[in-house]
Structure 1
Amino acid sequence: MKINFLQMKKSLFFTLLLVFTFITTNAQQMGRENITLLKTSYITDALSLTPTEAEKFWPVYNLYNNKIKTSKQKLEFEMRNIMNYSGGIDDLSEEKALVLVNQMLQMEEDISKNKTKMTHELLKILPAKKVIKLEKAERDFNRRILQEYGKRKRMGAN
């Protein structure tokens, strides 16, 4: 058991090293597709998905993740539109502000519903511990991407 744990740890370490080396060496080419590929690799390793689990996991994860992303994009679009055409938050009428607040609440509710549905679907595929690890892996990945972005920005790279 300890040997498998150590092998897993080594494998994860080398995968992470490879991922972050890739990020570092390909700064200019780090588009959305690259980030998606890195995230897929990171989550697969962090959850130690078997090929069978991965085959069932990714379609469910991608479906709900896309729905969540769409809700967030709609919210951002609506907020940007209202802000651009109203001259900013301070110039919003109370009526428009209330509309925006209600839209924000609706989008947050949609996101929450999709996260709940995704969790229930994933529990049919994965053990509960791996579902918990998914939440942590997503947070860790996002934190690392933001750190890398901040580091590049401080260094003057785009």
Structure 2
Amino acid sequence: MIKAMKIKYLLPFILLFTLTSYSQGHKEKRERIKALKVSFITTELNLSSEESAKFWPIYNEFEEKEFALRHDKMRGLVKKLDASDIDKMSDKEALNYLKEFEEAETKLIQLRKKLVEDLKPIIGPVKILKLKKAEDEFNRRLWARYKKGKE
């Protein structure tokens, strides 16, 4: 019941953010999304002020590194690949691309493992599971709002 009430109060803020964010710059959008995510995760995990003080620096560092890997490395690889280029690639070139993708994916997995290890003594395994669930729920809602705006 309490969780439903939290979501009920948080949802209008997410909706308001999504609607107003279309007219803002990319960086401002990211900052606003981040602020909403912080609020959502803090609420979902029910972090104490002591937990919050230790949790957020670790989580923020993780997110920065994850974003850099996904945005810079992986997106850069995808942008380099044109469909016509793929058909012209040798097996050796294709293997090199695959190796780069695999390395980036491995780094993402390593980052997540490090996050879990760093957070265990701070918030414990139950809240780490709640974190994963909260991240997924936040992203699902954000994606749904985005898609709704595109219709």
| TM-score, structure 2 normalization | 0.86
In structure 1, the residue matched to 2:96 is 99
1:141 and 1:92 map into 2 onto residues whose CA distance is 39
Contact 1:12/1:45 (CA < 8 Å) preserved in 2? no
In structure 2, the residue matched to 1:108 is 105
Runs of 5+ consecutive residues of structure 1 not aligned to the other structure: none
Q: Deviations over 1:26-79 (max 9, x none)?
A: 442371111111111111111111111111111000111211222222122123
In structure 1, the residue matched to 2:40 is 42
Runs of 5+ consecutive residues of structure 2 not aligned to the other structure: none
**Which structure's relative contact order is higher, taking Cα pairs within 8 Å and 6+ residues apart?**
2
Identity, in percent, stands at 31
Q: Does 1:137 align with 2:134?
A: yes
2:37 and 2:49 map into 1 onto residues whose CA distance is 17
Contact 2:21/2:29 (CA < 8 Å) preserved in 1? no
1:88 and 1:143 map into 2 onto residues whose CA distance is 33
Name the CA shift for 1:135/1:94 in 2 (closer, same or farther; >3 Å): same
Counterparts of 1:1-158 in structure 2, within 5 Å, are 6=2, 9-29=4-24, 31-73=29-71, 74-81=73-80, 83-84=81-82, 87-154=84-151
1:139, distance to aligned residue in structure 2 (A): 0.8
- The alignment yields a C-alpha RMSD, in angstroms, of 2.0
| TM-score, structure 1 normalization | 0.82
